[in-house]
Amino acid sequence: SGKWENTVVVFISDNGVAFPGAKTTLYEPGMRLPCVVRRPDVAPGVCDAMVTWADLSPTLLDLAGVISEAPTMHGRSFKNAMMQSSTDGWNEVFASHTFHEITMYYPMRVVRGRRYKLIWNIAHGLPYPFATDLWASETWQATLSRGLTHYGKRPVKDYLERPRFELYDLVNDPHEIHNLAGDPSHQSILEDYQSRLRAYQQKTGDPWILKWEYE
């Protein structure tokens, strides 16, 4: 019909089943997803800009020529980033998880840079609520009934009880096992990422920003 050269195709995916440390969490398997964009005006290649699904609507509106900026949206257009070799301005993402099932209210916020990631477990005083399909799975129940100390590389207790902050070096610790939030040598990084996260919450009107003052 002659529309192919005027058509943008976007392929994305979901995180799949709620395995421990995956979907319903803000660890890497719960955040990283494929994103393939076909544009008639851009040659095939790889874009290393860090984007989130909140950026999709502003990007599609920008590609359609409707708007170039969307100040009332939490995301921003990555139309131009797809054509640039530099990732300047696209080296961190923010994300959130508030609840999954109605019984799984456990708000978390995260800022993820190229090397470090900070997770803020807002309800850290409570045990982590598992999705019913995960909790009932034979694998997880076998882990509990056999008294195993680890599920994969992570201790079982770390799935059940989350600290207030989790800071990970994704280069040296890609599986996010060693929490650096309490490490004095990483205190400046922790404070920097806390400041970034709080500023983003302020910008987006996140009501849970109040928890910083009323811990």
**Centroid of chain to Cα 64:** 27
Torsion of CA 156, 94, 185, 22, to 10 degrees: 20
How is residue 133 written in tokens? Answer: 């399909």
pTM for this structure? Answer: 0.93
Instruction: Dump pLDDT digits (tens) for 189-206.
Output: 999 999 999 999 999 999
Q: What is the structure's pLDDT at 137? A: 84
Per-residue pLDDT at 33: 94
Quote the number of domains for the chain.
1
Which ranges of 48-167 does DSSP label H, i.e. alpha helix? 56-63, 132-135, 138-145, 156-160
Between CA 210 and CA 213 the distance in angstroms is 6
- Say if CB 26 and CB 97 are below 8 A apart: yes
pLDDT, one tens digit for every residue, the chain (215 residues): 789 999 999 999 988 877 788 888 999 999 999 999 999 999 999 999 999 999 999 999 999 998 877 778 889 999 999 998 899 999 999 999 998 877 789 999 999 999 999 999 999 999 998 888 888 888 889 999 999 999 989 999 999 999 999 999 999 999 999 999 999 999 999 999 999 999 999 999 999 999 999 87
Residues 5 and 41: their CA atoms lie apart, in Å, by 8
Print the domain residue range for 120: 4-212
- CATH assignment of the domain containing 174: 3.40.720.10
Burial of 121 (0-12, 13-18, 19+ CB in 10 A): buried
